[in-house]
Amino acid sequence: MGIRTRFTELAGIEHPIVQGGMMWVGRAELAAAVSNAGGLGIVTALTQPTPDDLRREIERCRALTDKPFGVNLTILPSVSPPPYAEYRRAIIDSGIRIVETAGYKPQEHVDEFKSHGVKVIHKCTAVRHALSAERMGVDAISIDGFECAGHPGEDDIPGLILIPAAADQVKIPMIASGGFGDGRGLAAALALGAEGINMGTRFCATVEAPIHDKVKQLLVANDERATNLIFRAFRNTGRVAKNSVSDEVVELGSRPNAVFEDVRSLVSGAKGRTALETGDVDAGLIWAGQVQGLIHDIPTCDELIARIVREAEAIIRGRLAGLVAEPEMV
């Protein structure tokens, strides 16, 4: 039993299911719960205010699991960027063997991680970006379809096209992100050419996710239409849960000659953190994907991963196999 892929071999995990790095959510308790359940948990580096805090969070995760887990380092263009090199050093010094990178010009970070034997999964929203990352020397690609929470890029290509389009060209292992939340999604991702799935929003609606229960209940109550695309006019599109804040951001951003300053006060990370931690779901942006329409409960990570694998195996062994007609004997 079990689903083995090149990605499970690469990461040394039991099931081809990854918890994506999420700001304010990717903490030790969630990452450890996912890893203990046989997936790959991810601690989000920049959720920690300093590199030393990240070192402590990694140690906290190690105290909670003896299974492999990774760290996410997202590189974003910024007027006053965080000390990325120091965070990178904290990751390397802590003996982390798997890193999820995302964002802007990662070559320097990829080179440094690789020189210390760290395996790098790079998140991409387009085939051309995936091929660039492959040439850069990363070990695996996380290909992110338009359905996803976060930043889906500007091409608007859903996973049903993007995953096989990438699989046709990318030679290294690839996991699929955006819209995954159950066993049907895992089976579909494997059929489309991926070697596993990456889930963010779905892991927010688990017992161990370190966010307020009212936010988890919002994800359960919302359907697949309950997201907003923000920052379109600024060519930095983001998909978030629909609430009064994101409605206002969409309205302001769609006005003629809109500039980012028009929405800056509404979209601060601090306000989003307040929403997640206090349960005031209109305090700030809540990043969530269209997969909300497939979320109907708040299980433990162990229950969720076991269910997804069980469902996927049943589809692969049962329903799909049963659809293949045997040739008639003449």
> What distance lies between CA 25 and its chain's CA centroid?
11
Mean per-residue pLDDT of the chain: 96
How many angstroms separate the CA atoms of 41 and 33, rounded? 7
Q: What percent of the chain has pLDDT over 70?
A: 99
Residue ranges and CATH numbers for the domains of the chain are 6-208+300-316 (3.20.20.70), 213-278 (no CATH)
Average pLDDT of 65-76? 96
How many angstroms separate the CA atoms of 302 and 39, rounded? 9
Pairing label, strands 227-230, 197-199: unpaired
Closest C-alpha among 180, 209, 213 to residue 24: 209
CA angle 287, 288, 293 (to 5 degrees): 165
| Predicted local confidence at residue 327, as pLDDT | 81
| Predicted local confidence at residue 79, as pLDDT | 74
Q: 152 in helix, strand or coil?
A: coil
Average pLDDT of 35-48? 98
Grade residue 326 by pLDDT with cuts at 50, 70 and 90. Answer: confident
Grade residue 12 by pLDDT with cuts at 50, 70 and 90. Answer: very high
Grade residue 330 by pLDDT with cuts at 50, 70 and 90. Answer: low
Instruction: Answer yes or no: are the C-beta atoms of 31 and 218 closer than 8 Å.
Output: no
The kind and range of the H/E element at 19 are strand 17-19
pLDDT(328) > 90: no
Lowest mean pLDDT among 33-42, 96-105, 175-184, 192-201: 96-105
pLDDT(66) > 80: yes
Instruction: Answer yes or no: are the C-beta atoms of 58 and 87 closer than 8 Å.
Output: no
Q: What percent of the chain has pLDDT over 90?
A: 94
Average pLDDT of 98-125? 96
Q: What is the pLDDT of residues 122-135, one digit of tens each?
A: 999 999 999 999 99
pTM over 0.85: yes
Grade residue 1 by pLDDT with cuts at 50, 70 and 90. Answer: low
Q: What is the pLDDT of residues 267-319, one digit of tens each?
A: 999 999 999 999 999 999 999 999 999 999 999 999 999 999 999 999 999 98
| Predicted local confidence at residue 18, as pLDDT | 98
